[in-house]
Amino acid sequence: MKPEKIYMDTTALIALANRKDKNHKKARNFLNSKLNDGVLFVIGRPVFAEFLNGTSKRVGKAKAIELYEAYTKSKFVIIEKETEEDWKRAWDIFLKYDDQDGMDLVDCLSFAIMERLNLKKAFTFDNDFETYGFVKLP
């Protein structure tokens, strides 16, 4: 039986990395629970870049490098590259949801990647995933 796959968004990555984040404990508990269940987490490369850029600017390049190494070597994480079709689909979504100011292009790329991979659940604290129709966890 194939392991369950859940998409991981930038907000979850930030919550996991930052002990001062209001969602840190909830994120840690959720991650540990799902890892015990054998779940794999999919991180879109645009999300990963967004997270590492933010870490580099706010915490330092050394921390960004450390996190890059940890996530890319993890047996529980898949870094998923975006395709040209994902970009086209993301732009269509971006235009369709022009009334949702918080729904940025990285979100739309995540939605396109999730659709391509047939993923229905996202580990996120961003309500845009629910707005688009995905299940937001935890």
The secondary structure of residue 60, as a DSSP letter, is -
User: Is residue 1's pLDDT more than 90?
Assistant: no
Mean pLDDT, rounded, for 116-137: 97
Residue 26, domain CATH: 3.40.50.1010
- Contacts for 98 with CB less than 8 Å, ≥ 6 apart: none
pTM for the predicted model, two decimal places: 0.95
- 43 CB-contact burial (10 Å; exposed 0-12 / middle 13-18 / buried 19+): buried
- Give CA–CA dist 34/16, Å, rounded: 14
- Give CA–CA dist 90/36, Å, rounded: 33
- The tens digit of pLDDT for each residue in 88-123 reads 999 999 999 988 888 999 999 999 999 999 999 999
Average pLDDT of the chain to the nearest whole number: 96
Give the chain's domain count. 1
Domain that holds residue 24: 5-137
